[in-house]
């Protein structure tokens, strides 16, 4: 057994591929892998899909505490909670994809809650006091609605 041991589809069978140093298998495997990758990309399999369009909510339809939080965001504070204005990482991937640091989160006070509660406004943009878009969640990031009617 040495160089040139023929495969079942080798030269004797008219296939031309052999095992050993002159083997065509590395070329064949690379071609198959490239073709499979191209097929996966063309089909979109494994590709991250954009989130579904989010519902919209008028700022005036939100709780008074959310309206107050929105005013504080546009004014640059002061915010009642230390976590307000920190980066929101969009781990749930429910908001449109952007680079890290694009989104910031703000607490919407919940009357009677002893902690920050579940309500938040998440805004995105380069300038925190002039956000490109803001989103409201009443269920701690399980769902969002885009805030419309002013910024």
Which residues have a catalytic role annotated?
105, 140
| E-state strands within the chain | 56-58, 86-88, 103-107, 120-124, 133-137, 145-148
By C-alpha distance, which of 79, 71, 128, 129 is closest to 104?
A: 128
Q: Which residues neighbour 8 within 8 Å (Cβ) at sequence distance 6 or greater?
A: 15
Q: How far is CA 14 from the centre of its chain?
A: 51
Contact criterion met (CB below 8 Å) for 22 and 11: no
């Amino acid at each position: 057994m040495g160089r040139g041991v023929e495969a079942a589809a080798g030269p004797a069978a008219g296939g031309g591929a052999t095992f050993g140093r002159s083997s065509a298998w590395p070329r064949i495997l690379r071609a198959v892998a490239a073709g499979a990758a191209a097929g996966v990309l063309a089909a979109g399999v494994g590709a991250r899909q954009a989130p579904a369009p989010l519902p919209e909510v008028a700022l005036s339809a939100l709780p008074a505490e959310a309206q107050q939080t929105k005013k504080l965001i546009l004014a640059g504070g002061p915010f009642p909670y230390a976590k307000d204005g920190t980066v929101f990482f969009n781990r749930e991937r429910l908001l449109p994809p952007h680079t890290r640091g694009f989104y910031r989160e703000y607490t919407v006070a919940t009357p009677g809650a002893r902690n920050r509660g579940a309500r938040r406004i998440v805004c995105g943009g380069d300038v925190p006091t002039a956000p490109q878009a803001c989103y409201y969640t009443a269920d701690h990031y399980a769902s969002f609605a885009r805030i419309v009617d002013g910024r």
